[in-house]
């Protein structure tokens, strides 16, 4: 990247954690809007923003970081993250676990970021935030609903540097387009949950599934290949082969599965035979319930007739109670 060999920047995805809203400039920007900013090891604030910050990790962030560090998902999550809730919802996620008195990112050194080429999405966005209102709409509408905004904090001296970009150039330099693509469907799940509000219930099991699929692809893969999953869902062989070996394909598939199972979104079909046996099971349960109800009715009626007979009344007599 042009502006620094080993930088900085962080934000909660898609905005910066701990950012005071008053530091967000009240101006909608687009890809052609101009930006004057540069971050490099020579700025006086270098790495200042890698401390006391909240950095939410997306599934793609976790995948890239753990591969770089050659850790299993479980080892990475346990060592470098702590639990949090996403976007003020009850959806569980993880954030980087800060260390020491200075509450530093575990990957920062005085020389800069030690995982720079695999740094989280949030670190790439700063200081350009993105707002994206796309719930339930198509791609064209998504594009129309997307805009950017600038975060300008007093401690960040990058704004005093004399480097000019368009927002589009800055984003390309930071490699955020790929991140946008990789994070999009996952973020959409969180936004869906947010738009439903907390009155709409999501079971604890559903939340656990969301957390597992979002943070631990190893376990999600076992869930797909070692449970009755493939007997339940209709997946073509090509998809099965791909998600067996390709982590990114598995991650994207997990988003489709979560959207389908949590919110009833299309994208996954239950197998015909499963569906048929489920329908048969429901019909059987329904028939049994009807039979039980008929039997109970007969028994009640017989009991009533018996009581009336005891009192010397005939069923249907006007004197009966």
Contacts with ligand SF4, residue ranges (CB under 6 A):
7-10, 39, 43, 45-50, 55, 105, 107-108, 113, 115, 119-120, 123, 126, 155-158
At 36, give phi and psi (nearest 5°). -110, 110
Q: How far is the CB of 48 from ligand SF4 (least distance, A)?
A: 5
Comparison of 8 and 247: residue with beta carbon closer to ligand SF4: 8
| Nearest of 288, 292, 291 to residue 280 by alpha carbon | 288
The token pair that represents 70 in the structure block: 């050659």
Comparison of 10 and 66: residue with beta carbon closer to ligand SF4: 10
Q: How far is the CB of 125 from ligand SF4 (least distance, A)?
A: 11
Question: In whole angstroms, how far apart are CA 291 and each of 98, 276, 288, 310?
Answer: 62, 22, 5, 29
Q: How far is the CB of 80 from ligand SF4 (least distance, A)?
A: 10
Please report the beta strands in the chain, taking only residues with DSSP state E, as ranges in sequence order. 34-36, 81-85, 92-96, 108-109, 112-113, 128-132, 146-150, 164-166
Comparison of 78 and 283: residue with beta carbon closer to ligand SF4: 78
Tell me the C-alpha distance between 124 and 14, whole Å. Answer: 10
Bin 102: left if φ > 0, else alpha if -120 < ψ < 50, else beta.
Answer: alpha
Comparison of 108 and 128: residue with beta carbon closer to ligand SF4: 108
Tell me the C-alpha distance between 188 and 184, whole Å. Answer: 6
Q: How far is the CB of 187 from ligand SF4 (least distance, A)?
A: 18
Q: How far is the CB of 65 from ligand SF4 (least distance, A)?
A: 8
Q: Is 22 helix (H, G, I), strand (E, B) or coil?
A: helix
Distant-in-sequence, close-in-space partners of 88: CB < 8 Å, separation ≥ 6: 194
Comparison of 48 and 268: residue with beta carbon closer to ligand SF4: 48
Q: How far is the CB of 242 from ligand SF4 (least distance, A)?
A: 30
Comparison of 14 and 158: residue with beta carbon closer to ligand SF4: 158
């Amino acid at each position: 990247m042009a502006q620094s060999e080993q930088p900085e920047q962080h934000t909660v995805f898609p905005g910066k954690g701990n950012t005071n809203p008053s530091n967000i400039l009240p101006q909608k920007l687009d890809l052609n809007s101009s930006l004057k900013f540069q971050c490099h090891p020579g700025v006086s604030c270098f790495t200042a923003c890698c401390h006391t910050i909240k950095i939410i990790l997306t599934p793609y962030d976790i995948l890239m970081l753990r591969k770089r560090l050659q850790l299993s998902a479980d080892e990475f999550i346990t060592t470098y993250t702590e639990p949090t809730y996403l976007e003020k919802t009850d959806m569980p996620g993880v954030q980087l676990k800060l260390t020491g008195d200075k509450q530093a990112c575990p990957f920062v050194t005085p020389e800069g970021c030690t995982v720079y080429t695999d740094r989280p999405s949030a670190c790439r966005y700063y200081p350009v935030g993105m707002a994206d209102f796309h719930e339930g709409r198509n791609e064209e509408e998504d594009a129309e609903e997307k805009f950017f905004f600038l975060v300008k904090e007093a401690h960040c001296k990058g704004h005093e540097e004399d480097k000019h970009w368009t927002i589009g150039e800055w984003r390309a330099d930071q490699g955020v387009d790929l991140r946008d693509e990789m994070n999009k469907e996952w973020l959409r799940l969180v936004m869906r949950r947010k738009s439903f509000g907390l009155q709409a219930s999501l079971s604890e099991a559903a939340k656990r599934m969301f957390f597992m699929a979002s943070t631990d692809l190893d376990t999600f893969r076992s869930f797909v290949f070692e449970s009755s999953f493939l007997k339940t869902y209709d997946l073509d062989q090509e998809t099965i082969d791909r998600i067996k070996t390709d982590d990114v394909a598995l991650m994207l598939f997990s988003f489709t599965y979560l959207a389908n199972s949590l919110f009833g979104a299309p994208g996954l079909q239950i197998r015909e035979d499963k569906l048929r046996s489920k329908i048969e099971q429901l019909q059987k349960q329904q028939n049994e319930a009807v039979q039980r109800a008929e039997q109970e009715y007969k028994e009640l009626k017989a009991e009533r007739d018996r009581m009336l007979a005891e009192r010397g009344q005939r069923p249907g007599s006007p004197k009966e109670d």
